[in-house]
A and B are shown apart, each in its own frame.
Chain A
Amino acid sequence: MDRTTIDLWVGIFVALGVAALFGLAMKVGNLTSSQIGATYNVTAAFENIGGLKARAPVKSAGVLVGRVENIQFDSKTYEAQVTLAIDTHYEFPKDTFANIYTAGLLGEQYIGLDPGGDEAMLKNGDKISHTQDAVVLEKLISQFLYSKASETDEKKESK
C-alpha cells in the first residue's frame, strides 16, 4: 500500500468526517437559527419564572428574536431578574409586555414579547416594566378549587 493511495483514503475519510460534523450542526442541530449576530440586553423582573432556564428562547409573534442570557434573584425586591439578549435587527417599544409561555402543554418555557404602542424603543440596558409570570400548575389548581368552593358557598347562601 503506497503512500499516495493511503493519503487518498485518509483524505476521503477526513472529508466524510467533516461533512458529517457539518451535517449534524446544520441539519440535525439548530446552528443556523442560533444567535450568531450581535445582541443588546434588556432586563425584566418576574415574581415567578416557573421553569424558565438560561438560553431559553425569546420569541415575538412566534418567531425567535433572542435568548435568555441570565437569570438572577434580586434580594431587595424578592423578584427574579431575567436578562434578555435580543438580536439587534429587532427593536421593541418601551411598553412591550414580556410574558412567560409554555411550548405545548408540558414543554419548555420561553419568553414571548408582545409589543406595545410607544414610539420610543428599548435600548441596551433598559428595563421592561410590563411582565406576566409563568403559569404555575399548583396555583392554577388551588385557584380552581377556591373558585369551586366559593361557588358552592354562594349556592348554599342563596338557598
Chain B
Amino acid sequence: MLNRLNRTLRGIGHRVIDRIWRLGRASRFFLSTLVLSGESFRRLHLTIREMYFTGVLSLIIIMVSALFVGMVLGLQGYNTLQKYGSSDAIGVLVALSLVRELGPVVTALLFAGRAGTAITAEIGLMKATEQLSAMEMMAVNPIARVVAPRFWAGVISMPFLAALFSMVGVFGGYLVAVPLIGVDEGAFWSQMQSSVDFHEDIVNGVIKSCVFGVVCTIIALFEGYDAPPTAEGVSRATTRTVVNSSLAVLGLDFVLTSFMLN
C-alpha cells in the first residue's frame, strides 16, 4: 500500500515538474518569437498572408455567433428587465455585456477553437514532416519565418474580431428589442450611449482582446511547435491548445476585470 502511495506521489510530482518545465520552454519560445519578429514586419506579406488565415477565415463564425449571442441577450435581458419596469435599459444591458465581457472573451474562445487549432495542426504537421528541420538546414530560422508572422497576425486580428463581435452583437440585441419586442428605438440607443463609457468600457474591452490575442496565439503556436512529430502527438496538441487557451482566457479575464474595475 505504501508503495502505491509512493508511486502516486512521485507521479504527481513528475507531472507538476513536467508542467513547470513546459512553462519554462513556452516562455523561452515566447521571448524568441518576440525577439525574432523583425522579419514579420520587414516582409509584411508574410504576416498579411497569415492574417488571411487567422482573421478573415474566422469572420463568418465570429459574426454569426455574435448575432445569436446578441439576440439571446436581448431576449433574456428583456425577460428579466420588464419585471422591474426597466425594459428601456435593454440597450445598456446588451451593450455593456458585450463590450466589457462577452465580446473579448467569446471571441477569444472561438478564435482558439477555430484559428488556434488550425495553427497548432499546421505547425505540428510541419514539424512531423521535417519541414521545420529542412528550413533550419537551409539556414532559415523557422521561428522567424513561420512562427513570428503567425503570432503577429493573431495579435492584430483579435481586437478587430472582438470589435466586430460586439458590434454585430449589439445589432442582434437591437433586432430583438426594437422590431421584434417593440422597445422604443430612441430609448434603446440613447440609454446605451449615456451608459457606455468610451474609456472605461470600450478601451478596456480592446485591451482585453489584445491580451487574449497574445495568449491564444502563443499557446497555439507553442503546442504545435512542441508537439511530438507523430499523428497522435499532433492531435493531442490541438486538444491542448483549446483547453489551455480557454483556461488562460477565462483566468486572465478575471484578473483583468478586477484590475480594471478598481
Instruction: List residues of A whose CB falls within 8 A of some B CB.
Output: 1, 3, 6-7, 9-10, 12-14, 16-18, 20-21, 23-25, 27-31, 33-34, 55
Q: Which residues of B contact A16 (CB under 8 A)?
A: 59, 160, 164
**Of A9, A20, A29, most B-chain CB atoms within 10 Å:** A29
Of B2-10, B26-34, B192-200, B216-224, which stretch is located at the interface? B192-200
Given contacts A10-B48, A10-B52, A29-B193, contact A24 B160 (CB under 8 A): no
**Distance in Å: Cβ of B84 to nearest Cβ of chain A:** 11
How many A-B residue pairs have C-beta atoms within 8 angstroms? Tell me.
82
- CB closest residue in chain B, given A19: B167
Q: Point out the residue from A10, A28, A31 that lies within 8 Å of B55, measured CB to CB.
A: A10
Interface membership of chain B positions 203-225, coded 1 if the CB is closer than 8 angstroms to chain A and 0 otherwise: 00010000000000000000000
- CB closest residue in chain A, given B194: A30
Q: Point out the residue from A1, A13, A28 that lies within 8 Å of B202, measured CB to CB.
A: A28
Given contacts A6-B49, A10-B51, A13-B56, contact A29 B164 (CB under 8 A): no
- CB closest residue in chain A, given B168: A20
Q: Point out the residue from A10, A14, A18, A30 that lies within 8 Å of B198, measured CB to CB.
A: A30
Q: Point out the residue from A21, A25, A29 that lies within 8 Å of B160, measured CB to CB.
A: A21
B56 and A29 form a contact (CB under 8 A): no
Q: Is B245 at the interface (CB under 8 A from chain A)?
A: no
Inter-chain CA distance A30–B206, complex, in Å, is 16
- CB closest residue in chain B, given A1: B52
Q: Which residues of B contact A28 (CB under 8 A)?
A: 95, 99, 166-167, 170, 192-193, 196, 202
Inter-chain CA distance A18–B206, complex, in Å, is 12
